[in-house]
Amino acid sequence: MFIAPRVADAKDWITTETGDWEIILGLEVHAQVASNSKLFSGAATEYGAEPNSQVSLVDAGMPGMLPVVNEFCLEQAVKTGIGLNAQINLFSRFDRKNYFYVDLPQGYQISQFEFPIVGEGEIDIVPIDADGKVGEQVSVGIERLHLEQDAGKSIHDLSPDETYVDLNRSGVCLMEIVSKPDMRSPDEASAYVEKLRGIVRALGTCDGDMEKGNLRADVNVSVRRPGGELGTRCEIKNVNSMRFIRQAINYEARRQIEIIESGNEVDQETRLFDSVKGETRTMRSKEDAHDYRYFPDPDLLPIKLEQSFVDRIRSEMPEMPDARKARFMEAYGLSEYDARLLSGDIDMSNFYETLAKGRDAKIAANWMLGDFAGALNKGGIELTDSPVDADALGGLIDRISDDTISGKIAKGVFEKMFESGDSADTIIERDGLKQVTDTGAIEKIVDEVIAANSDQAAKVADNPRLIGFFVGQVMKASGGKANPKAVNEILKAKLGL
C-alpha cells in the first residue's frame, strides 16, 4: 500500500475558499526499449514502416504460436534498473494481463505482475517553475520496473464509420517504470520525467522520443488537505510532453477539488487529456489488479538471471547524468545550474564537450545556453537537427576570442549562421565585419566624437558614467566594428579618467 508522508511546500498548495489543498502525484512511465526486434518475436521495430508490415504470427496472436524472450530486452531492463539505483531481481516472471481491445490480438497482454525484473530504487530531481526559479532537490522513489509488450494502434480518422488497426507496435517491448507517490507539483512531475528521459537516453535503453510515443506517462493525480489522508486517484493516460503533463495535472487537481468541495466524491477512473481544450475527460472506470485476472504465462518459463550477468552490465555502465554534472562542475568550472542543464541530455552533453574543447568553457556554456538554445526553441528545432553544429559554433567563439569580431557583432553573425548554415568566417569575410583593432584608426574616431560633443566631454570629470555615451557614439561611428576594449581605454585616456 502506498503512503505519502511528505507534505508539499506551501507555494505548491492550491488555495480555495474552503482552505488549502495538496496534490499527490505518482507516475507510470512507459519507455519503449531500444531494440531491433520485439519482446517475444523477431519482427522489426522500425518507426514509420508501412502499416502491418512488421508483424509476426506471434504478434498477430495466431493459434499455436509460442513467444520466445528477447534476451537483449532483459539486458536493457537490467541496465535501466541499475541507472535508477534500483534492486535487480534475479528471479522474475511474465504474467498474462487479460482484457479485450481491438488492437490486442491475443486477448491478453504479457506483462510482469507479482515478480518484476527490477525492484525499488530512487532518483533525485530538481524542479524548475515557469519563471525559471529552481526549487529544492526532491528524492522520488521507484516502486518497480517491469517489462511488457505494447499493443497495436487503432486509427479512427481514415473512415467515418470504420476503425483501422496497425499491429506494427504489437509486441514491441516496453519498460513500465512505476514511481511512488512522492511528487507534489506539476513542476516536480515534469522534472521527474525529464530526469528519467535523460537516464534512459544516456544508457541507450530508450531513445526518449516523446513525439513518437516512445516515452509517455500515465499520471496518477489525487488531492488532500496538506498532510491529510490520501484521496481517490485518477489516472491520466498516455501524456506525451512535459507541457501537457503540467497542464493535465493542473486541470485534474482543480477538477477533483471542485467535486469534493461540492459535497461529492471523486470516482476512481482512467481519463484522457485533451491538449486542444486543456482538460481531462473520462475514458473508462479504473480497474484494479483483480479485474485483469493475472496468472503466470504458461508459455514462458520464469526468468532466472545469473549474478554474473548483472555484474557484467554494471561494469559496462556509461557515465550517468548526475556523475556527468559533477564532472562538468569540476573540470569546466561551471555553476551547478549550468552543469545540470548541460549534463541532463546525452546529445546536449556531447555537443557541449565538443564545443568547449580547447576553448573557454564558461563562454562556451553561455553561448550554448543563451543564443543557441534560444534559436532552437524559437524554431522548434531539435538539437540533432540544428543547422549550426558544435564545430561551427566553436568557430564563431574563436573569432570573438581572437578579436576578429566583437561579442555584439557575433550575435548578428550567429543569426545568419543559423539561417543559412554558412560558417562564421564566410559571413564575416563576405559582410566585411572584421573588428577594427588599429588603435590609430580608433583614436581618430574618438577625437572626432569628443570634438562633436565637447559640452558632454566637459562634464565627464564630474560624471564618469557619461563615458558610456561616448562609447556608444564611437561604436556607432565605426559601424560597431571598433574593438570595445580599445575604445574604452582610449576614451579614458582622452577624457582624463
Q: Are residues 306 and 331 in the same domain?
A: no
Q: Largest alpha-carbon pair distance within the chain? A: 98
Asked if residue 217 is part of any domain, the answer here is: yes
Is 184:5 a contact under the CB 8 Å cutoff?
A: no
Given a contact cutoff of 8 angstroms between Cβ atoms, the answer to whether 473 and 491 are in contact is: no
Beta bridge partners of 148: 174
User: What DSSP character marks residue 334?
Assistant: -
As a whole number, mean pLDDT of residues 125-133 equals 88
Confidence of residue 259 (pLDDT cuts 50, 70, 90): very high
Q: Does 36 map to a domain?
A: yes
Assign 456 to helix, strand or coil. Answer: helix
Which has the minimum average pLDDT: 36-40, 127-131, 267-271, 445-449?
A: 445-449
- The whole-angstrom separation of Cα 29 and Cα 346 is 20
Q: Is the pLDDT of residue 495 over 90?
A: no
* Beta carbons within 10 angstroms of residue 131's beta carbon: 5
In the three-class reduction of DSSP (H, G, I as helix; E, B as strand; rest coil), residue 483 is classed as coil
pLDDT above 80: residue 424 = yes
Q: Give CA torsion, residues 426, 427, 432, 437, to 10 deg.
A: -80
pLDDT, residue 435, reads: 73
Q: How far is CA 126 from the centre of its chain?
A: 13
Task: Identify the domain boundary among 430, 448, 469.
Answer: 430
Residues 6+ apart with CB under 8 A from 474: 442, 445, 446, 449, 482, 487, 491
Q: Output the pLDDT for position 5.
A: 85
List Cβ<8 Å contacts ≥24 apart for 449-454.
Answer: 449/473, 449/474, 449/477, 450/494, 450/495
Spatial CA neighbour of 455 closest among 465, 444, 466, 446? 466
Q: Is the distance from CB of 95 to CB of 114 less than 8 angstroms?
A: yes
pLDDT score, position 100: 86
Q: Band of the pLDDT at 286, cuts 50, 70, 90?
A: low
Could you tell me the pLDDT band of residue 1, with boundaries at 50, 70 and 90? low
Specify whether 300 is located in the same domain as 185: yes
Q: Express each pLDDT in 339-384 by its tens digit.
A: 999 999 999 999 999 999 999 999 999 999 999 999 999 998 999 9
Of 27-41, 274-288, 293-307, 451-465, least confident by mean pLDDT is: 451-465
254 shares a domain with 109: yes
240 has pLDDT over 70: yes
| DSSP one-letter code for 458 | H
Specify the CATH number for the domain of residue 459.
1.10.10.410
The β-bridge partners of 31 are 175, 215
Kindly report which listed range (124-138, 180-194, 243-257) carries the lowest average pLDDT score: 124-138
Q: Locate cell 561579442: which residue?
A: 407
- Selected residue with higher pLDDT from 433 and 317: 317
pLDDT, position 260 = 96
Residue 436 has pLDDT above 80, yes or no: no
User: CA-to-CA distance for 362 and 332, rounded, in angstroms?
Assistant: 7
Task: Say yes or no: 26 and 158 in one domain.
Answer: yes
CA distance 45 to 172: 7
Q: Is there a single domain that holds both residue 154 and residue 39?
A: yes
Give the integer Cα–Cα distance in Å for 139 and 155: 39
Helix (H, G, I), strand (E, B) or coil at 329: helix
DSSP of 81-95: HHHTT-PBPSEE--E
Residue 144 forms part of a structural domain: yes
Residue 475 cell numbers, joined: 561604436
State what percent of residues in the chain have pLDDT above 90. 76
Same domain, 274 and 333: no
State the average pLDDT for the chain: 92
The pLDDT value given to residue 324: 95
Confidence check: pLDDT of 437 > 90: no
- Looking at the chain, the whole-number percentage of residues with pLDDT higher than 70 is 98
Q: Choose between 158 and 147: higher pLDDT.
A: 147
Element (H, E) at 399: helix 390-401
pLDDT band at 392 (very low <50, low <70, confident <90, very high): very high
Q: Which residue has the higher pLDDT, 450 or 147?
A: 147
Domain final residue pick, 311, 345, 368: 311
Mean pLDDT of 19-38: 97
What value does the mean pLDDT take over residues 140-148?
A: 97
Report, as an integer, the average pLDDT of 476-489: 77
Task: Evaluate if residue 440 carries a pLDDT over 90.
Answer: no
Joined grid coordinates for residue 205: 535503453
Most confident by average pLDDT, 186-200, 271-285, 396-410, 447-461: 186-200
**Same domain as 343, residue 245:** no
Which of 373, 408, 430 represents a domain boundary (last residue)?
Answer: 430
What is the H or E stretch that residue 111 is in? Answer: strand 108-111
Q: Which of 109, 239, 94, 97 lies closest to 170 in space, CA to CA?
A: 109
pLDDT at residue 373, rounded to an integer: 94
Confidence of residue 438 (pLDDT cuts 50, 70, 90): low
In a shared domain, residues 191 and 286: yes
Q: Is the pLDDT of residue 461 over 80?
A: no
How many domains would you assign to the chain? Answer: 3
Cβ partners under 8 Å of residue 308, min gap 6: none
Do 115 and 34 share a domain, yes or no? yes
Q: Are residues 259 and 292 in the same domain?
A: yes
25 occurs within a structural domain: yes
Decide: 128 and 135 in contact? Cβ < 8 Å. Answer: yes
In a domain, 351, yes or no: yes
The residue type of 462 is D
Residue 285 · residue 270 · CB < 8 Å: yes
33 and 9 Cβ atoms separated by less than 8 Å = no
- Does 4 map to a domain? no
Position 181 pLDDT exceeds 60: yes
State whether 416 and 474 are in the same domain: no
Q: What is the average pLDDT across 256-267?
A: 96
Q: For residues 425-446, give the mean pLDDT.
A: 81
Structure letter (DSSP) for residue 184? -
* Averaged pLDDT, 55-76: 96
In a domain, 294, yes or no: yes
Give the structural domain span for 77.
10-311
446: cell is: 574618438
**CB-facing half-sphere around the CA of 208: CA atoms within 13 A:** 20
Q: What pLDDT, on a 0 to 100 scale, did the predictor assign at position 245? A: 96
Question: Is residue 226 located within the same domain as residue 259?
Answer: yes
Number of Cβ within a 10 Å radius of residue 126: 18
